[in-house]
Amino acid sequence: MTSATHRSAEEIGRTATGPRELPPLGEQRAAADLAHTDTVLGNGLRVLAVRKPNVPMVELRMAIPFAGDDPAHPATAEVLAETIATGTRRRDRVAIDTELALIGGDLGTAVDPEHLSVSASSLASGLPTLLDVLADVLTEASYVDNEVRRESDRIVERLAVARTQPRVIAREALQRHRYGDHPYTREVPKPEDVAQVTPEAVRALHASAVLPRGSVLVLVGDLDPDAVIGDLERALSAWASEKAARELPALPVLRGGELLLVPRAGAVQSQLRLSAQSLPRTDPRYPALQLANLAFGGYFSSRLVENIREDKGYTYSAHSGFEFTGQNATVQVEADTANEVTAAALLETRYELGRLGLVPPTDADVESVRQYAIGSLLIGASSQAGLASQLLGLAAVGLGVEWLNGHPGRVAAVTTEEVAQAALDFFAPSRFTGVVVGDAETLAPQLTALGGVTVESTGS
Partner 1 sequence: MAAPELHRLTLDNGLRVVLAPDRTAPVVGVSVHYDVGFRSEPEGRTGFAHLFEHLMFQGSESLEKLAHFRHIQGSGGTFNGSTHPDYTDYFEVLPSAALERALFLEADRMRAPKLTRENLANQIDVVKEEIRLNVLNRPYGGFPWILLPPVLYSTFPNAHNGYGDFTDLEQASLDDCAAFFDTYYAPANAVLTVAGDFELDRARELIDKHFGDVPARPRPHRPSFAEPRPTTELRDTHTDPHAPLPALAVGYRMPDPVNELDGYLAHLVLAGVLADGDGSRLQQRLVHREPLVTDINAGAGLFGPFEARDPDTFSVTAIHAPDVTADRVLGALDEELDALASTPPGEQELAKVTARWSANLHSEHDRLVSRTLALGAFELLYGDAALAYDVADRIAAVNPEQVAEAAKGLRPDSRAVLVVKPQEGDAQ
> Measured from the CB atom, is 156 or 399 closer to partner 1?
156
Which of these ranges, 247-255, 370-378, 418-426, 440-448, lies near partner 1 under the rule CB under 8 A? 370-378
Closer residue to partner 1, CB minimum distance, 67 or 346 = 346
* Count of residues of this chain found to bind partner 1 when the rule CB under 8 A is applied: 95
The only residue of 208, 282, 376, 430 in contact with partner 1, by rule CB under 8 A: 376
In terms of CB distance, is 32 or 449 closer to partner 1? 32
CB-CB neighbours of 400 under 10 Å: 17
Can you tell me the distance from the alpha carbon of 426 to that of 353, in angstroms, rounded to the nearest whole number? 9
Task: Select 7 or 89, whichever has its Cβ closest to partner 1.
Answer: 7
Among the listed residues 69, 70, 106, 323, the single contact to partner 1 using CB under 8 A: 106
Among 78, 114, 334, 336, the residue binding partner 1 under the rule CB under 8 A is 336
Binders of partner 1 in range 158-217 (CB under 8 A) = 158, 160-161, 163-166
Please tell me whether residue 299 binds partner 1 under the rule CB under 8 A. Answer: yes
Give the DSSP letter of residue 456: P
122 binds partner 1 (CB under 8 A): yes
Residue 247 exposed, middle or buried by CB count within 10 Å (0-12, 13-18, 19+): middle
CA-closest candidate to residue 219, choices 387, 100, 348, 378: 387
Q: Phi, psi at residue 428, to the nearest 5°? A: -60, 135
By beta-carbon proximity to partner 1, the closer residue of 12 and 253 is 12
CA angle 38, 40, 46 (to 5 degrees): 75
> Quick one: which of 258, 323, 340, 367 contacts partner 1 (CB under 8 A)?
367
Tell me if 130 sits within 8 A of 58, measured CB to CB: yes
CB of residue 403 to partner 1, shortest distance in Å: 19
Taking alpha carbons only, the member of 75, 79, 196, 184 closest to residue 141 is: 79
Q: In the chain, what is the straight-line distance between the N-terminal and C-terminal CA atoms, in Å? A: 55
Q: Which is nearer to partner 1, 14 or 89 (CB)?
A: 14
What are the residues facing 276 on neighbouring strands?
A: 331
Nearest approach in angstroms of CB 370 to partner 1 is 9
Question: Which of 42, 180, 249, 375 touches partner 1 by CB under 8 A?
Answer: 375
CB closer to partner 1 out of 15 and 457: 15
> Which stretch of DSSP H or E encloses residue 57?
strand 57-65
H or E, element range at 258: none
Give residues with Cβ within 8 angstroms of 299, minimum separation 6: 305, 369, 372
The amino acid sitting at 286 is Y
Touching partner 1, residues 215-244 (CB under 8 A): none
Does residue 65 sit in helix, strand or coil? strand
Site string for partner 1, 48-67 (x = CB under 8 A): ------xxxx----------
Q: Strand pairing partners for 220?
A: 50, 59
Stretch that binds partner 1, among 146-154, 208-216, 237-245, 325-333 (CB under 8 A): 146-154
Beta carbon nearer to partner 1, 93 or 203: 93
Q: Which of 197, 192, 185, 175 is nearest to 81 (CA)?
A: 197
Considering the complex, what minimum distance in angstroms separates the CB of residue 44 from partner 1?
31
Residues 286, 353: Cα–Cα separation, whole Å? 18
User: Contacts with partner 1 in 65-104 (CB under 8 A)?
Assistant: 86, 93-94, 96-98, 100-104
When asked if residue 13 is in the footprint of partner 1 (CB under 8 A), the reply is yes
Contact between 19 and partner 1 by CB under 8 A: the answer reads: yes
Pairing of strands 433-438, 259-263: parallel
Contacting residue, 300, 323, 412, 451, with partner 1 by CB under 8 A:
300
